[in-house]
Structure 1
């Protein structure tokens, strides 16, 4: 009878090393959280964020800190919970300050993608609503946020809109619909000629007034 050769079974590769690596990463992320967190609150508060900014060599008002909050899907301005911190840093694969600092340019590129930028733009408005049931941003805060978030991409539009907002008297605050439609305005309307702007379309009245103001300036110039 011919001898039947027995194949040696392939060794089963354990997933334990990868699992251990992930566990170690989470432990380092949690340890980093503890170095910035307010122990009595069990979260990173504004003081902890200022310390983080110093370690990252960025200003507290730097847009990259807002991008980091977006990456964490942070719910309250100026505060990071441990779950938010862990989710954000795991996604960035950053378990040390040095790695996080090196990841900031990649985060900027990620935010700049069209589908991400719109989400970031909407997030930035919601994130700045600091009071319960708050629905609007005061004009001064809205102007600062527009300059920070949208200014680098649509400088002429933002500068003109901010100028208008600061001199007009009708509106004391900006709501989400107005905020959202200004991004649409920047994306769809040629500037500064405004030839495609049609007031009969579904634009908020504040933008109709803004365009009228711009055209008035152009006529009188």
Structure 2
């Protein structure tokens, strides 16, 4: 019984120490007038981590922290996320982020969750449910791996077309599934698969471009 109690006490002490370190790190970057890390604090954190504030790593960090607002980390979000990543110091966080970047691309379920989070994270208003096309294109380039064969042509299509000014979550998540299942030549595209009309138009656009080349 004593050994069990010692073990429990040791775990509790480790947990308290991790919380203290996470909270101390939060205090370094929090807004002096608010109990959040705001845009300036996020920028300083990124500078200390030696990463671009607009990079995929920052978005991954926000995802792991369950951040609800772009450019902000609440105390609970930050400390909980830091402890979840087991990275309660800047040095540890620098080492974790590249691995997190690799791991999410190797786990389909994790990437699907991250991809959906990226869309919702860009919604600035409480009732907002759509992204303007320009923002959607920018985010696709942040979120998707460079090797995604549909990324560039789909981005060009979105910029060329005039029918859609906004993208909704169903179109966003369907494009990821489409890019995983349909070859770059779209020869295995099945119109009966109930894809969003946006993707039907994309396939038609691709076909027209190929016929002219």
Q: Is the structural similarity TM-score above 0.5?
A: yes
Root-mean-square deviation over aligned CA pairs:
1.2
Contact 1:45–1:80 (8 Å) recurs in 2: yes
What runs of 5+ residues in structure 2 fail to find an aligned partner? none
- Between the aligned partners of 1:16 and 1:92, the Cα distance in structure 2 is 22
Whether 1:21 and 2:17 are equivalent positions in the alignment is no
How far is 1:131 from its partner? 1.3
Partner secondary structure for residue 58 of structure 1: coil
Structure richer in helix, relative to its length: 2
Work out whether 1:152 is the aligned partner of 2:146: yes
- Pick from 172, 180, 194 the counterpart of residue 202 of structure 1: 194
Measured after TM superposition, the shift of residue 39 of structure 1 is 3.0
- Which residue is equivalent to 1:5? none
> Are residue 135 (structure 1) and residue 129 (structure 2) matched?
yes
Count of residues paired in the alignment? 210
Match of 1:115 in 2: 109
Within the alignment, does 1:60 sit opposite 2:53 as a pair? yes
Gaps of 5+ in 1: 1-9
Report the Cα distance in structure 1 between the residues aligned to 2:2 and 2:51, rounded to whole angstroms.
Answer: 50
Q: Tell me, yes or no, if structure 1 residue 170 matches structure 2 residue 172.
A: no
CA distance 1:93–1:70, shift in 2 (3 Å): same
**Which residue of the partner structure matches residue 102 of structure 1?**
95
Bigger shift: residues 51-60 or 31-40: 31-40
Match of 1:12 in 2: 3
> Alpha-carbon deviations, 1:115-150, whole Å to 9, x = none?
100000000000010112111111110000011111
Task: Give the stretch that moved more between structures: 179-188 or 106-115.
Answer: 106-115
The structure-2 alpha-carbon separation of the partners of 1:159 and 1:17, relative to structure 1 and needing over 3 Å to count, comes to: same
Bigger CA radius of gyration? 1
Aligned CA distance change for structure 1 residues 31 and 21 (closer, same or farther; 3 Å): same
List structure 1 runs of 4+ shifted beyond 2 angstroms: 10-13
Match in the other structure for 2:67: 74
